[in-house]
Amino acid sequence: MQLSNDVKRQLEQFHLGQLYNSYDYFGAHPFTYDGEEGVLFLVWAPNAEAVSLVGSFNYWNDQADPMEQVTTTGVWGRFFPGITTGEVYKYKLFLPDKRAIYKADPYAFYSEVRPETSSVVFDLDTYKWGDNQWMEKRQHFTPYEEPINIYELHLGSWRMKEVGKFDNEAFKSVDPASFYNYREIADQLIPYLKEMHYNYIEVLPLHEHPFDGSWGYQVTGYYSMTSRYGNPSDLMYLIDACHKAGIGVIFDWVPGHFCRDEHGLMFFDGTELYGDIDHPQWGTKKFNFYKSEVRNFLISNACFLFEKFHIDGIRVDGVTSILHLNFGLDHSPYKNEQGGDEDLWGIQFLKELNLEIFKRYPFAIMAAEESSSWPMVTHPIESGGLGFNYKWKMGWMNDTLDYIELDPLFRKGSHDKITFSMHYGYSENFILPFSHDEVVHGKKALIDKPSGEYEDKFKTLKLLMLYQMTHPGKKLNFMGNEFAQFIEWRYYEPVEWFLLDYEKHEEHRQFNSLLNRLYIQEKSLYQKDHDPSGFKWIDADNRDQSIYVYARKSSDDALTVVLNFTPVTYNDFRVGVEEPGEYRIMFTTKHAPYRIKRYSYIKAEPVKMHGQDYSLPINLEGLEGLVIKKKKALRKKQ
C-alpha cells in the first residue's frame, strides 16, 4: 500500500524524535483506502525481516495478511477493510534468526483483560465530552498560587464488589468481576471527594499491565488504559465527571522502565529496540533514551494522555532511575561519554518532555518523584533545571515520619527533623506526600506509625495532618489515611470502609474533611507556598517542650500555627504575635468539632515572647495543634 507524502514526512519526524502526536499515525486507526472503510495498522519494527497482521478477523493466519514496509526506516503497514472497534489483533514478527514472535501493538488504544494479551481495535474519538467549562477555566490556572489537595488512589482497591475472590491465590490476581467499572467508580468516588474537600485525584498507573501486584508500575501498553475497569470511553466518563465536579485528574506515569513480558516491548523486533539496561530490583528494562524514536514514543504518550483523556497533570515515577545509568545496580558497569554515571540522554528526555508539555498545556502539573538530592528539578530549563513545576518532598516525608515514630520523651533529641525542611524549603516547588509507598511492605499504616497507645496514636495523627496542611507545599494523601486505616494497603482488598462504623475512625474522617476545607478556604495556607514571605518561624527552638510555632501568610492575611508533640498540657502557654489586637483559635486537633465556629477572642498582651512585642495566653493540651487568626477590623462605611 502507498502512504501519502504528508504521512511519510510525519513519519520522518518520528525518527527525528519530533512527532509528538505519533499516536495519530501508529497503531490501529479507522481509515478509508481506495473507497473502502476499514482499519490502517502501522508499527515500527526496523529489525524484523517480515511482519504479519494476525487477529480474529483473519483467524490468526500468519500468511493471510503480510504487512508491507511503507518507509525505508522500518515502519510496516497494512490496511484491512471492513473491520471496526472490537477486533482483536497482534503482530507476528519474523526475525533474521528464523524465529517468529507475537507482539501486542505498542500503540494499541485498548487491550484484552489480562491474562489475555492481544490488542483491541478502538476508536478514541467517539466519546462526547462535557467538560468544556473546566477546559476553558484551566487555561488560566496558576498552580503555584492555588490550593492543591490531592487524593491518591488505586482504582481497583478503592472499593470492590467482592472481597477475597482471586484468579490466582498465590499471586493475588484479582478476579475482574471484583472490580467496579470506571463509570461505577465515578458515581461513588466523586461525591466522596466533594464531601472530603479534595480538589485533585492522582491515580496509580492505569496503563495496561499484566500483574495486579505491580500496582501498574510495570507496563505493557502505554497507550492502552487498563481494561480491568472498562474501556477507554468509560475512563473518559470518569475524568469528565471529575471535571464537571471541579476536580482535577493527575495520572501516575512510568517512563523510566517497562516490564519483560513476552507480548510487550521487551525484544520487540528481536532486538533491544526499546530498552537494554536491566533493573534487577524491579525485573524490568530501562528505556533507551539515546534513541530519538524511544524518546518520541514516550513524550508522545504524555501528550496523548492530555489530548485524548483531558488529564490535568502527570506524576513522573522513578525520575531518579532516569537520571542515573546504574540506578538499582550493585556496581556501576555503565558510564556516559564523559565517564560519569549520569544518563545524559535521560536528562535530555526529561527536558524535552517538560518543554513540550508546557508549550502545549501550560496549566499542567508536572510532578517529579525524585528521591535523591539532584539539584534544580523544578527550575527552568534555560537556567539549568529539569523543567518540572513540582517535586515530591521525600526528605520532608521521611524526616516527619521518623519524628512521630519516636517516643515523645525522645523527640526533643530530634527536634531538627521538623525544622530542617525549611532550610531547603524554597530550593524547589514541593508537594508534601504521604503516599502509597509509605503504607506498604512492612512500613505500617499511617495511624500505626506514631508512638503511644491507641488514643495517643489518633491524637498524633491529627497533629501530623495539621502539620502537613499548614507546612508550605501542596498536599497529597493516599486513600485510607483520611480515616486512619490500621492495616497496610493491599492491592487485592478494598480500603477498610467498615472502620467508619467505629467512632474513632469516623471522627478522624470528619476531622480530615474539616481540615481539608480549612486548607481550601484559607489563602495563607497556599497562596505563597513557594515564596519565603509566606512562612515565618515564631519559635523553632523549643526542643525541651517539643513545641513548634510558625506563621503562614498570604498577601493580605496571616495564620499562627502551634504544634505540641508531647502529651504534656500547658494551661498558660504564651505565643508571640506581631501585632496587638484580638485573636481567636479557629481550628484545633483537640476534639470535635475541631473547626471552632463560636468565636472566643483572646486579646494580645504587651508581654514579649518569641522575639515579638505581644503575646497570647492560651491553654495548650498534650499532642494538640492549633491554628490562630487575628480578628479583622471592620471597614467603615464611606
Q: What nine digits make up the cell of 43?
A: 508499527
Q: Which residues of the chain are under the pLDDT cut of 70?
A: 164, 170, 594-599, 633-638
Going by C-beta distance under 8 Å and a sequence separation of 6 or more, which residues neighbour residue 485?
439, 445, 446, 447, 495, 496, 499, 505
CA–CA gap between residue 606 and residue 613 (Å, rounded): 6
Q: Are residues 246 and 354 in the same domain?
A: yes
pTM, two decimals, is 0.95
**pLDDT value of residue 638:** 43
CA–CA gap between residue 208 and residue 210 (Å, rounded): 7
Q: Are residues 105 and 170 in the same domain?
A: no
Residue 29 falls inside a structural domain = yes
DSSP-assigned states of every residue in 343-373: -HHHHHHHHHHHHHHHHH-TT-EEEE---S-
Burial (CB < 10 A; 0-12, 13-18, 19+), residue 184, is middle
490: left (phi over 0), alpha (psi -120 to 50) or beta: beta
**pLDDT value of residue 584:** 93
Residue 153 falls inside a structural domain = yes
| Cα dihedral 211→216→219→223 (10° resolution) | 120
CA–CA gap between residue 162 and residue 177 (Å, rounded): 8
Sheet holding 625-630, edge to edge: 535-542, 547-553, 558-564, 625-630, 582-588, 601-603
Residue 196 falls inside a structural domain = yes
Task: Find the CATH number of the domain harbouring 54.
Answer: 2.60.40.10
SS3 assignment, position 534 = helix
Q: pLDDT per residue over 154-213, tens digit each?
A: 999 999 997 767 777 767 788 888 999 999 999 999 999 999 999 999 999 999 999 999
Q: Are residues 186 and 102 in the same domain?
A: no
Q: Are residues 75 and 153 in the same domain?
A: no
Q: Are residues 120 and 148 in the same domain?
A: no
**pLDDT value of residue 636:** 46
Q: Are residues 109 and 208 in the same domain?
A: no
The strand pair at 50-55 and 313-316 is best described as unpaired
Instruction: Tell which residue, 116, 138, 392, 361, has the closest CA to residue 263.
Output: 116
Q: Report helix, strand and coil shares of the chain as percent, to nearest 5.
A: 30, 25, 45
Task: Find the CATH number of the domain harbouring 312.
Answer: 3.20.20.80
Range of the domain at 52: 5-126
Buried b (16+ CB within 10 A) or exposed e, 584-608: bbbbbbbeeebbeeeeeebebeeee
Q: Are residues 248 and 166 in the same domain?
A: yes
Q: Which residues are catalytic?
A: 317, 369
Q: Are residues 420 and 476 in the same domain?
A: yes
Contact 265, 275 (CB under 8 A): yes
Q: Are residues 121 and 159 in the same domain?
A: no
The strand pair at 68-69 and 88-94 is best described as unpaired
**pLDDT value of residue 430:** 98
Q: Of the candidates 426, 456, 484, which is a domain's last residue?
A: 484
CA–CA gap between residue 258 and residue 120 (Å, rounded): 20
Q: Are residues 118 and 187 in the same domain?
A: no
Helix (H) or strand (E) holding 32: strand 27-33
Q: Domain tally for the chain?
A: 2
Q: Are residues 218 and 321 in the same domain?
A: yes
**pLDDT value of residue 599:** 63
Q: Are residues 122 and 147 in the same domain?
A: no
